[in-house]
Amino acid sequence: MFASEIVSVGMFVPPRIVTNDELSKYMETSDEWISQRSGIKERRWVAPEVGCSDLALEASKLAIANANIDPQEIDLILCATLSPDHDFPGLGCFLQAKLGLSGCATLDIRQACSGFVFGLSIADQYIKTGMYKTILLVGAEIHSKGLNVTTQGRDIAVLFGDGAGAIVIKQTTDKNPSRILSTHLHSDGIHAKELWMAAPGSNIGADRINAQHLEEKMHYPQMNGKKVFAHAIRRMAEVMQEALVKNNMKLEEIDLFLFHQANLRINEMLAQELKIPPEKVFNTIMKYGNTTAATIPIGMAEAVKAGKLKKGMTVASAAFGSGFSWASAIYRW
């Protein structure tokens, strides 16, 4: 039987560091206010000329080099993002061209913060069926160009950063200890407007976007913070337990937890609810903020660098985001 193995990871963040103190120059806020509510101390923002595919390219090149493969081996490029270079075609097409590849399939995933785990599941299914043997999965985001960086938009603007992470997944067998064990995906569209961006859109009148939409700030993300916070803890705990039951595993058998990085307080409360020792949870939000689809692969790369993620370890990931959507995965590194 075929199985999927994560063989490498790469990450890239722009060089510009934006601290909480810098944000206080643009809006009524402070380092203490942001840190207490989110755990974030700083984030990375791109230069004006940089696009999402540029970040994706750098992370991908590192992942490909670390996998020690010929890029031409890649059968499929999966890109998880909510901030592509353009509305269409998908980010994967622009990344493919920059990688110098031609002919392999590309597919974009629009599940926001859950996008990377959804992508992991899609890659796993394609490899298990034998359709593809080598898949590049990328999570990449540029939020800084789409935030309302004023006091009015403060609650969302302070949370997000730019960055990209990529992994190479190869076909192996179910006898290989290092493989994806299971993935679990869920959505509930009844809550779609609790975390969304209304414009541009085909369901907001005669125009996808017009002056009135801009005046009403409909092109900026909107979030019901309290509802998202509560649902995130509940759903991530549920889907993590689902993964453990599926694999007949106990929590103690997981060596490292790589959760989506939306808010440090969410991850702290999730760990308390599941009774996970703090030393088993690896967080990056303090340095990078919420990079949505990029947070988990960035976490992988940072954990490897820090010596926290090593060959043979059993890892669990969970994410929650817009949709609402939530997902989990258990895999052996």
State residue 66's pLDDT score: 98
- Reported as a single tens digit per residue, the pLDDT across 294-305 is 999 999 999 999
Q: For residues 59, 314, 110 and 234, what is the CA-based torsion angle, rounded to 10 degrees?
A: -140
What domains are there in the chain, each with its CATH number? Answer: 2-173 (3.40.47.10), 180-332 (3.40.47.10)
d(CA 35, CA 23): 12
What number of other Cβ atoms are within 10 A of residue 16's Cβ? 14
Among all chains, which residue has been given the structure tokens 């490899």? 127
Q: At what angle do helices 225-246 and 264-274 cross, to 10 degrees?
A: 40
Does this model's pTM top 0.85? My answer is yes
Identified catalytic residue from 79, 93, 104, 113? 113
Percent of the chain with pLDDT over 70: 100
Q: What average pLDDT does the segment 256-274 reach?
A: 97
The residues near 144 (Cβ < 8 Å, ≥ 6 apart) are 18, 45, 46, 160, 161, 162
290 given a catalytic annotation: yes
Q: What is the mean pLDDT of the chain?
A: 97
Percent of the chain with pLDDT over 90: 100
State residue 151's pLDDT score: 96
- Reported as a single tens digit per residue, the pLDDT across 28-53 is 999 999 999 999 999 999 999 999 99
| Res. 284 pLDDT band, cuts 50 70 90 | very high
- Reported as a single tens digit per residue, the pLDDT across 203-259 is 999 999 999 999 999 999 999 999 999 999 999 999 999 999 999 999 999 999 999
| Res. 176 pLDDT band, cuts 50 70 90 | very high
- Reported as a single tens digit per residue, the pLDDT across 233-245 is 999 999 999 999 9
Q: Check if the beta carbon of residue 324 is closer than 8 Å to that of residue 114.
A: no
The residues near 231 (Cβ < 8 Å, ≥ 6 apart) are 191, 320, 324
| Res. 277 pLDDT band, cuts 50 70 90 | very high
260 given a catalytic annotation: yes
| Res. 262 pLDDT band, cuts 50 70 90 | very high
**The residue count for the chain:** 333
Phi/psi class of residue 84: alpha, beta or left (left: φ > 0; alpha: ψ in -120 to 50)?
beta
Identified catalytic residue from 260, 263, 267, 283? 260
State residue 234's pLDDT score: 97
| Res. 331 pLDDT band, cuts 50 70 90 | very high
Identified catalytic residue from 20, 263, 283, 290? 290
d(CA 197, CA 156): 12
| Res. 94 pLDDT band, cuts 50 70 90 | very high
End-to-end alpha carbon distance in the chain: 19
| Res. 143 pLDDT band, cuts 50 70 90 | very high
Q: Which of 295, 328, 333 is nearest to 59 (CA)?
A: 295
